[in-house]
Amino acid sequence: MNFASDNVTPVCPEIQAAIDAQCQGNAPAYGGDDVSASLDRAFSDLFDHEVAVVPVSTGTAANCISLTTLVSPYGGIVCHHEAHINEDESTAVAHFTGGAKLLPIDGPAAKLEAAALSTYLESRADRGVHSVTPECVAVTQSTELGAVYSPDEIGAIGAICKQFNKRLFMDGARFANAVAALNCPPADITWKAGVDALSFGGTKNGAMAVEAIILFDPARRAEAEQARKRSGHLLSKHRYLAGQLAAYIDNDLWLKNARNANSAAQALATLLTDQGGQMLLAPQANELFVALPDTIAQKLRDAGMLFYSWPSLGTNAYRFVTAWNSDINAINALKTRLHGL
């Protein structure tokens, strides 16, 4: 059982079928096809708000192109130290935005907290041209440490952004897992809470390679499309991206896949605690962070589990990630087999 990452998974059958359907003949290039044209309507219905959808093939591109529409080359982006844009995207943010600077701060479980954000923004006010003025705040939902912001928590951050006149961006590489965990309409943790742009992740949750930039102010579309083109992220066979996204939200496939991943995480958490593991953070979505004695970690590896150690949380810390194809019955069966061994 591979719990190393949700990126290790194959394409799910529904999305493979959508890709196959695009292989039946020719179609206009660069987004001129019917499926690409249908995305704005489909996602506007999903979010209960008029949105512009700009598909790209990687999460880094989705994050950075979104940010180009929200921040100037000399502006700052407040984010958590653990944020993917800060820790795992090289200097892509500065590269795409033409120089914008990340301004990392702390918070529990990789979450920003409204009060700390307010204090930080206050401290950076009126510092003139010699300093970097925050123009945007970035949150990740669910976070890099598997935590989920509630609608109230995002709303409180959105209110601070409004008070200080900052844009709010959400990295939703695992947005589906957050919505599945909260069981709320996607609107409640996005535009209703003050989010201006969202990277709506697909790849980790069953797609082959697609993330949708969702702009809650459709007037930002032209800027996003320019940024996508000049960075080489406008695919000529755009219909393959669009087909994946259309299938992903059709019949709530995105939620079905995420619900399986989240339920598998709960089953796996039970197995790990049964084995003597200690959860370092409450399991909320599809990522588990657990402290395991060396002998138990080895025992799990001997039983065929793959997972990473996570030194930033301690020497005995490990990360387990479940996904759309995690087999809950197999996890439960393994728990029974390992119990008492």
Ligand X SMILES: Cc1ncc(COP(=O)(O)O)c(C=O)c1O
- List interacting residues with ligand X (CB under 6 A): 58-60, 84, 140, 144, 171, 173, 203
Q: For ligand X, give the closer residue by CB, 207 or 334.
A: 207
Smallest distance, ligand X to C-beta of residue 294, A:
27
Q: For ligand X, give the closer residue by CB, 103 or 334.
A: 103
Helix (H) or strand (E) holding 223: helix 221-230
Cα separation, 309 vs 322, in Å, equals 15
Cα separation, 156 vs 55, in Å, equals 29
Hey, how many other C-beta atoms are within 10 angstroms of the C-beta on 327? 14
Cα separation, 279 vs 224, in Å, equals 40
Contacting residues for 217 by C-beta, under 8 A, at least 6 apart: 196
Smallest distance, ligand X to C-beta of residue 301, A:
23
Smallest distance, ligand X to C-beta of residue 93, A:
12
Smallest distance, ligand X to C-beta of residue 89, A:
7
Phi-psi region of 82 (alpha: psi -120 to 50; beta: other; left: phi over 0): alpha
Q: For ligand X, give the closer residue by CB, 20 or 106.
A: 106
Q: For ligand X, give the closer residue by CB, 40 or 144.
A: 144
Cα separation, 238 vs 235, in Å, equals 5
Smallest distance, ligand X to C-beta of residue 61, A:
7
Smallest distance, ligand X to C-beta of residue 127, A:
29
Cα separation, 62 vs 232, in Å, equals 12
Smallest distance, ligand X to C-beta of residue 71, A:
17
Smallest distance, ligand X to C-beta of residue 125, A:
29
Q: How far is CA 152 from CA 41, 139, 147, 158, 193, in A?
A: 27, 14, 14, 10, 8
Whether 179 contacts 255, CB under 8 Å: yes
Q: For ligand X, give the closer residue by CB, 4 or 29.
A: 4
Q: How far is CA 64 from CA 40, 60, 135, 224, 228, in A?
A: 20, 6, 15, 10, 10
Q: For ligand X, give the closer residue by CB, 153 or 171.
A: 171
- 95: burial class by Cβ within 10 Å (0-12, 13-18, 19+)? middle
Q: For ligand X, give the closer residue by CB, 111 or 275.
A: 111
By Cβ distance, which residue is nearest to ligand X? 59
Here the tokens at position 36 are 């690409």
Q: For ligand X, give the closer residue by CB, 133 or 203.
A: 203
**Could you check whether the bond before residue 131 is cis, i.e. omega within 30 degrees of 0?**
no
